[in-house]
Structure 1
Amino acid sequence: MDRKFQEAIVNDDIDALHTLLVANPKLLDHATKESFPNTPLHVAAAAGKTQVAMELATLRPLLARKLNPEGFSPMHLALQHEHFQTARALVTLNPDLIRVKGKGRITPLHYVAERDGDEVLELLADFLCACKWSIEDITSRCETAVHIAVKSHNIKAFKVLHGWMKRVYLTEVLDWKDEDGNTVLHIAVSTNQPQVVKLLTEDRPVFFKNRPFLGCMYTERLVKVNARNFCGKTALDIMQEGDCSKEIRDMLGTSRGRDSLTLSKFLSGKPNLFEKCSRYFGIRDEQTRNVILVVATLIATATYQAALSPPGGYWQDNSDPVTNSTSIAEKPHVAGNMILQGSKVYFFTVLNSLAFYSSIGTIWATAMGLLPDTFIVYLSVLILGLTFFVSIIVEFPKANGFAETLIWAFYEILLVAVLLLPILVWFSHKTIQNRVDATKRRVGNFLELETRRSCANM
């Protein structure tokens, strides 16, 4: 490196840097062409020269992703030398720098998860909030940042990771396995860390675990206590074989996890009813799904309005029941009754109701594959269906009690079949799916595709 260039970096002098670039515009080209260069950005980051580092990363963004011969990026070097301000500054330019994999596939997130200190703890929280999907990254030993924090006995870092994952609904990462098939619970039990075990074995809502404020049907442990590592041992087996504290034995001794189901066995079996319905009704094209939902909503709105305002409307006054007039306007009637009478009222009610419930069924079938996120849609439509049902019963002519009873039974069966049955089917599906024991190296699972940001050249 040119001596004047070195002086500009040491002095953190941006003006001197640009003066050199004006004199030699190709000054930075050599660093970008080498495979594993020790670039000026590496030097500036290691020295904590934030202003020059920011300028170099702005002029040549590719430099921030480059690894030196030791396998470290500028971000890694800034963290190693405890220049946390420089690391934060680089993250503001590109949050994906948190996912750059260095030697051993260790990312900056892995690095800070292993270190102690209040400032490092704040940096860990900043990294998680800046790049959500960095939690997916694993080392060459298939360890996540959570694995590293627990193996390092860094309880403070684990609490930050645990609290963040609960807030963004990514607690499934706690069930991921390392190269030996150990989850975080396996490690916590084998290393006798009761504080970690306590956080991992706390109860969580299952039925609507992604929307806790909606309630739940029952609770289960935050992690799968019966998950097996590649030696075929569960956390309970490790507890019984090892020298664990009484506190851990008390927490795991009352565990009643369900028998695990291997991923191969699950895939070898036939698709359950929920999977069949999701595959049949699932619409992958978003534009098509939006068109169907708009049309179904319009039909539901029109038919609901028609039920409230039937053809001919309602009588506005009371008539003399003993009148002999043959005029329609003077037929015996009571204010508020439907003008439409006879077979016409049945014909209209049946067709209008079929159209209304068909539109509701379309909305539910389209939203089924997106459960539990679409539960609020199901709840809203259920209330709408009940309101429609009540309005029909209230305004239906009272002269025919038998017909009213049939309509009552018809709507009750329809509500149960169309509105409540999908929830029960989905719940039975989740009960089985929660037993599946897999390595899970991605957020989500094999049945749920997640949109995520990823680095192209890491």
Structure 2
Amino acid sequence: MDATTKLYDAALKGDEPSLLNLLEEDPHILDRCIIENSGRYMQSPLHVAANFGHVNFTKKIIEKKPKLVEVVDQIKRSSPLHIACAEGHLQIVETLLDVNSSICYTHDQEGKTPVHVAAINGQIAVLKALLKVEPQAARERTMGGESVLHLCVKHKQPEALRFLVKTMDDGELFNFDDALGNTVLHLAVAAKQPEMVEILIVHPKIKQNAINKNGLTVVDTHKKSRRDSIQDTKIWKLLDRANVLPAKEALKTTKERAWLEDHRTSLMVVASLIATMAFQVGINPPGGVWQDSKTYTSQQDIKNLGLHKDHTAYAGTSVWSYGRHFDYNNDNPMDFCHGNNIDIQVLGIQSNLWRWRNLDCIRVFSRSLARVNGNYTRGTFFAIHMEAYWLAKEEINNDVLSGKVKKHYK
């Protein structure tokens, strides 16, 4: 048996004394075991020791040749860290990370990193150790575009998924899609894994209505793969409770939300202008206020002031609230709004939802909100549309453009 073979036998057994003896006889024996310098061996002695969990042997060999932690084998291009993660040897994982934490980002021939391997094998303690040192390693993807969360679902590791969702709190990671455009939620629904669906769907950063490359949301995916099993029933209840939409409705909602986001600044500017005008009208009515209380009887006064016959004007009330300057009861409110270019549609909001909102404002607030000194004036309509603005602002800030609102306003 030659010296190199004896070294591999020592690694297999975790025999430290044999390792030290061999190094005394040949100080360069470890150099000859580095894969890139020799095609004779498929793995390094460090791979072997990591696989069998020989902690002290691993520490000793790293002490003599730290570069071995970076060497990948000729089987799957796995590093010693890949091997240790798969087997769940936590102490060896921590030892390897102490030498070089960047090996967390090493990809094997399938594009898997040590984080992926740990998740696939359900090694929660190992995952915790890896992400403590290199949290960004969780964002690495396989050659198929799969994230560590996809792999948890694919290999049925709910506890690993639960740990990652709780630990990472990374919205972008949660919504990564694979080569087919499927998010981890798509995958969990398709795989009939209600426990994983529940873990994911309740998280606020999960995009429940994401659409894959086939144009399907998770609801559509569920309908296409449904088999009326117990798992299907549980999943449907979870999706229904979360108000997840099919692709057709989700696309419409997305377009409306995108429009609002694109025009947020313009809406705020216009609304601020309307607010200022409404405030001015409220404290300083058009035409001013009567200075004295008086009953007007002469034809000349009635003609000049536009009053009704024998009408009494009271001090402090709006001049325009009397007579024929503006008759709320005889004029059509919608005509007034359109004629003065203040209607909510001037802001570009054309959907049925916003038209309903506009009509609500006209109906409700024209009756109660905007009276000036007890009488309707033009200020009424500024206030009406100011309220429409606050409703729009509420939609933007609270992200209420969802299925519930749309159902209510169909």
Superposition TM-score tier, normalisation by shorter sequence: 0.5 to 0.7
Residue 148 in structure 1 maps to residue 143 in structure 2: no
Deviation at 1:122? 2.1
1:67 pairs with one of 27, 48, 72:
72
Equivalence for 1:158 = 161
1:106-255 pair list within 5 angstroms: 106-116=112-122, 120-166=123-169, 170-202=170-202, 204=204, 222-243=205-226, 245-254=232-241, 255=243
Deviation at 1:35? 7.6
Select the structure with the greater relative contact order (CA < 8 A; seq sep ≥ 6): 1
Q: Is the 8 A contact 1:272 1:429 kept in 2?
A: no
1:44-59 pair list within 5 angstroms: 44-59=49-64
Instruction: Give the aligned residue type for 1:123.
Output: V
Instruction: Give the aligned residue type for 2:171.
Output: T
1:13-412 pair list within 5 angstroms: 13-14=15-16, 16-32=18-34, 33-34=36-37, 38-71=43-76, 72-81=78-87, 83-116=89-122, 120-166=123-169, 170-202=170-202, 204=204, 222-243=205-226, 245-254=232-241, 255=243, 259=250
Distance 1:241-1:11 versus aligned 2 partners, 3 A rule: closer
CA distance in 2, matches of 1:83, 1:230: 39
Equivalence for 1:439 = none
Q: Is the 8 A contact 1:225 1:236 kept in 2?
A: no
Deviation at 1:228? 1.2
1:361-382 Cα deviation digits (max 9, x unpaired): xxxxxxxxxxxxxxxxxxxxxx
Instruction: Give the aligned residue type for 1:5.
Output: L
1:19-55 Cα deviation digits (max 9, x unpaired): 5434433322233443875222122222322222223
Q: Is the 8 A contact 1:112 1:121 kept in 2?
A: yes
Q: Which has the larger radius of gyration?
A: 2
Distance 1:260-1:223 versus aligned 2 partners, 3 A rule: farther
Deviation at 1:147? 0.5
Deviation at 1:129? 2.2
CA distance in 1, matches of 2:179, 2:91: 34
Q: Is the 8 A contact 1:104 1:140 kept in 2?
A: yes
1:292-329 Cα deviation digits (max 9, x unpaired): xxxxxxxxxxxxxxxxxxxxxxxxxxxxxxxxxxxxxx
* RMSD between aligned residues: 4.0
Residues paired across the two proteins, number = 261
Instruction: Give the aligned residue type for 1:176.
Output: F
Distance 1:26-1:157 versus aligned 2 partners, 3 A rule: same
Normalising by structure 2, we get a TM-score of 0.54
Deviation at 1:153? 2.0
Instruction: Give the aligned residue type for 1:86.
Output: I
Distance 1:260-1:200 versus aligned 2 partners, 3 A rule: farther
Equivalence for 1:12 = 14
Distance 1:88-1:246 versus aligned 2 partners, 3 A rule: same
Distance 1:228-1:16 versus aligned 2 partners, 3 A rule: same
Instruction: Give the aligned residue type for 1:198.
Output: E
Deviation at 1:231? 1.0
Q: Counterpart of 1:147 in 2: which secondary structure?
A: helix
CA distance in 2, matches of 1:103, 1:97: 15
CA distance in 2, matches of 1:25, 1:80: 31
Q: Is the 8 A contact 2:50 2:92 kept in 1?
A: yes
Instruction: Give the aligned residue type for 2:53.
Output: G
CA distance in 2, matches of 1:196, 1:3: 47
Distance 1:225-1:7 versus aligned 2 partners, 3 A rule: closer
CA distance in 1, matches of 2:398, 2:67: 44
CA distance in 2, matches of 1:82, 1:256: 38
Q: Counterpart of 1:104 in 2: which secondary structure?
A: coil
Instruction: Give the aligned residue type for 1:248.
Output: I
CA distance in 2, matches of 1:108, 1:271: 41
CA distance in 2, matches of 1:233, 1:44: 47
CA distance in 2, matches of 1:40, 1:203: 44
CA distance in 1, matches of 2:8, 2:203: 57
The percentage of aligned residue pairs carrying the same residue is 25
Deviation at 1:199? 2.4
Normalising by structure 1, we get a TM-score of 0.49
CA distance in 2, matches of 1:124, 1:132: 10
Q: Is the 8 A contact 2:88 2:126 kept in 1?
A: no
Q: Is the 8 A contact 1:78 1:84 kept in 2?
A: yes
Instruction: Give the aligned residue type for 2:79.
Output: S
Q: Counterpart of 1:162 in 2: which secondary structure?
A: helix
CA distance in 2, matches of 1:226, 1:181: 13
Distance 1:145-1:138 versus aligned 2 partners, 3 A rule: same
Q: Is the 8 A contact 1:67 1:73 kept in 2?
A: yes
Deviation at 1:273? 7.3
Q: Is the 8 A contact 1:113 1:149 kept in 2?
A: yes
Distance 1:3-1:259 versus aligned 2 partners, 3 A rule: closer
